[in-house]
Structure formats: structure tokens, C-alpha cells
Structure 1
Amino acid sequence: MIVSTSTASKRGSAEGKAASGGFFAKIILFIRQVIDELRKVVRPTRDELVNYTLALIVFLALIMAFVVGLDQLIVRLISWVFG
């Protein structure tokens, strides 16, 4: 990760203060870092979200069909063996 020197020095001093500070300083530092990371999140567009959702539904349907087919095969095999 590339960080500018001004950001790195700010982060370093904030982390230094939290390390030397108390319990609440560490909690505040953690919350600030979480907020910084959440600002970096790239949200998908509506089209991407629809495509991802459809891909997930198709994938789940295929997996469900495979499991049902395997289950039916095992049931018939057990019925044939123990008849």
C-alpha cells in the first residue's frame, strides 16, 4: 500500500498516541481506522448488482439440482440393495 508521507506521519502519530494513551484512545483510534476503510469501499452499480445476483441464483439452482440428483441416486441405490 502506498501512503503519502503526510498521511503516514499523521497515522503514525495517532497510533503512537493511542498506544501510549488509555483504553478509550485505542477504541477511538480503531473507530477512526474503520471509518477510513469504509470510505475506500467501492459500491457496485445497479447493473453489476443485478448481474451478480442472477449469477448467484443460477449457481445455487445448479448446486441444488446436483444435490437432489445425488440424493435420488443414493435413495434408489439403497432401495435396490436393501429392497
Structure 2
Amino acid sequence: MAGGWAKDGAVQDQIDSTVEDELERARRRLPQGESLMHCEECGEEIPQARRDAIPGVRLCIVCQSERDRQQSAVSGYNRRGSKDSQLR
């Protein structure tokens, strides 16, 4: 049940949109193409098992872990779903 000017189902529509946006962003980050033999960042050899498991891999496990850690530290939140965004 929506209140005010929002139509019925507006909250679920917002949740669905947020999930779809995040899925699309995750899909864009997936590696594509042929896997590299050596890491783009440090030059270390990428193990064959990793290349087989992740087609298009470009980084070794250490460098990928560091990149993931940095990206998660700066990931934002959904302003469309934030009550604070409605107050500004």
C-alpha cells in the first residue's frame, strides 16, 4: 500500500530497479575476451586454473583482491532509495 502521491507498488518498483542496476554494473565489470598469461598490474603469471575458471581474467588473485577491496570502499549507496535524498 502506497501513501501520499506514490502509486501502489512504487516501493517494490524502486527495489527492482536498484537490483537491476546493480546486476548490470556487476555484469559490466566481468572480464571478457581471452585470459592473459601474466597479470596486467604486477606481471606475475596467472595460474591456468584461474584462467580456466574465469574467462577473460586480466589480474592475478592478489591484484584482483586489492582492486575489489578498493572498489568496495568507494561504492556508493542508492540515492533513489535513501530517505536522506528526499530531504535534501
* TM-score normalized by the length of structure 2: 0.30
Select the structure with the greater relative contact order (CA < 8 A; seq sep ≥ 6): 2
Name the one with the larger helix percent: 1
* TM-score normalized by the length of structure 1: 0.31
Q: Which has the larger radius of gyration?
A: 1
